[in-house]
Structure 1
Amino acid sequence: MGERQAPRHHGLLNGGGCHAVTKNPFMSRILQPILNLVRLVLSQAIVLCGFVLVQRMGWRLPLGLFEILLIQGVLSALIGRLIGLWWFWVPVQILLPFAVVYNDVVPAWAYGVAFIACVLVFWNGAKEQVPFYMTNRQTWEAIGDLVARQNARRVADLGSGTGGIVTFLAKHHPTVQVDGYETAPLLTLVSKLWVALIRRPNAAILYKSLWDADLSQYDVIYCFLSPVPMPGLYEKAKAEMRSGTILVSNSFEVPGVAPLEILKVDDARQTKLFLYRF
């Protein structure tokens, strides 16, 4: 077993937000929603304080309520991105000021739609005990380097979410077939649409549980799950994966099994990728 540093890549951090540095990855998943909420409130508060300061200084902005709310939302979204919020928080940030101001006129069905959307996103979270959590861009790139190093022909992402790593690998490795497995209905729909839009014939999203996947097809398999399914997944991989192929687990080790290699990613939380060769 050894540790190595993933090649450093520069660029905008992507992920479920700028991850907290913690020695316990499971705690990181628990704290992440709280940290994201703090970032959301903080970014809105910064812009609101700016408006208050402008008013206190006697400056009058020639803007109507709609324009002010729009500026509040857009600036908050920009600040949110700068302090680590993932891109899907952008529309939330923009719409939040309108929702607060026009709360009395928001129809009840809108909240029902929001609830249904949440159910469709977190559909399998309780059953599988795997929270919805996105992989950041630095990790995409580290996986891409590993795929090239392994001369992989087929790659799978177990629990592919919105399809970020699938589309990234398909774009940067056009000769590699990349399959994503997802069972949350809304995430599957979004990722299928995204794959259709980018028109990459080597990318596919499968509405199928990772437990039903045929792992023998793949040279590299990536997952970012939780501690709960790792023992079972390792046993499945050991039974199905071919000699020389690799299972990569983001942050979560297989209990009692020493990884072949630990790849460190140069991101905010110093992500560790645990590599298991069969």
Structure 2
Amino acid sequence: MSFTSFGWPLPALMAWSVCWFLYSLLRLKTGLPLWAVLGLVTLTGVLLSLLGGTWWRRLAIGLGFPLSLFFSGALSLPAWAWLLPLALLALIYPLNAWRDAPLFPTPEDALNHLPEVAPLEPGARVLDAGCGLGHGLEALRQAYPLADLHGVEWSRPLAWWCRRRSQSGGIRAHVARADMWEVDWSAYDLVYLFQRPETLPRAMAKAAAEMRSGTWLVSLEFEATGYKPTAKLKTTAGKPVWVYRWPAVATSPLTPMDKPRR
């Protein structure tokens, strides 16, 4: 059973309990200075926040320990010290990534039927635009075992973590820390997205400007409004897979706001 399978707020309570246990353990069993203990425990809480399903839940998990420590009155720290959890959250979730999907993990087996409607030749280049922790790359590798997988992620810690997972888990993907909106999509035969609905118009405009004829754009869960999908796949997780072959058929014209920003 996964951490996120429990009903809210139990995941937050479990994360806070882990942080308080770690704090007590480090204070009692190690000779680390207080600032190091607080940094390690806060970082643990921030990393556990990645398991939250929404932005507000991630913030609640990540800030839970330092806020509870502050209100408990157990420590007297300078005001600047309480900026540490905010700095760590900003490191994990860079400000310019807030307008895109924060962290939406791709469910296991969600893309298994994708090759039936979007076949690729061996060695085809596939991009996970905004790869997060690498769940999408895992699903893509499962669907296309012979593909040349690439992932880009703006958050430096997430990109590092994804790269490590790729190396140790056998995903065999090239993971780079980069802005998905600055990467040239024309180099890929399939681009995979798991973004918010608000960012899909921008993604479709970028695809229209860069993607080659006959290539594929795939969006998990959210439909690109204004375009006719080539196929729609159902998944056991209840998240549909929207498949568009380029050039996609637009059912409504692009507006100036849809044009990709640089």
1:170/1:178 contact within 8 Å kept: yes
TM-score between both structures, scaled by the size of structure 1: 0.58
Deviation string, structure 1 residues 117-170 (Cα, Å, up to 9, x no partner): 2101221456x61231322433xx232431476135221111111122224534
Q: 1:273 aligns with which of 232, 241, 251?
A: 241
* Structure 1 counterpart of 2:227: 257
* Structure 2 counterpart of 1:114: 85
Runs of 5+ in structure 1 lacking a partner? 1-11, 20-34, 48-65, 68-83
C-alpha displacement of 1:219? 2.1
* Structure 2 counterpart of 1:185: 156
C-alpha displacement of 1:105? 4.7
Q: Is 1:134 aligned to 2:101, yes or no?
A: no
Structure 2 distance, partners of 1:183, 1:271, is 24
Number of aligned pairs?
A: 206
C-alpha displacement of 1:183? 0.6
Q: Is 1:151 aligned to 2:123, yes or no?
A: no
Q: 1:254 to 1:170 in 2, by over 3 A?
A: closer
* Structure 2 counterpart of 1:206: 176
C-alpha displacement of 1:276? 0.9
TM-score between both structures, scaled by the size of structure 2: 0.61
Deviation string, structure 1 residues 208-230 (Cα, Å, up to 9, x no partner): 11122221222221111112221
Runs of 5+ in structure 2 lacking a partner? 18-23, 26-50, 247-262
Identity of aligned residues (%): 24
1:13/1:137 contact within 8 Å kept: no
Structure 2 distance, partners of 1:235, 1:177, is 25
Q: 1:18 to 1:239 in 2, by over 3 A?
A: farther
C-alpha displacement of 1:171? 6.4
Which residue identity is paired with 1:142? Answer: A
* Structure 2 counterpart of 1:220: 190
SS at match of 1:237: helix
Structure 1 distance, partners of 2:245, 2:235, is 19
Which residue identity is paired with 1:154? Answer: R
Which residue identity is paired with 2:190? Answer: V
SS at match of 1:222: strand
2:125/2:188 contact within 8 Å kept: yes
Q: 1:258 to 1:174 in 2, by over 3 A?
A: closer
Q: 1:271 to 1:172 in 2, by over 3 A?
A: closer
Structure 1 distance, partners of 2:177, 2:155, is 8
Higher relative contact order (CA 8 A, sep 6+): 1
SS at match of 1:181: strand
Structure 2 distance, partners of 1:165, 1:106, is 43
SS at match of 1:142: coil
Which residue identity is paired with 2:137? Answer: V
Q: 1:142 to 1:244 in 2, by over 3 A?
A: farther
SS at match of 1:194: helix
Q: 1:148 to 1:135 in 2, by over 3 A?
A: farther
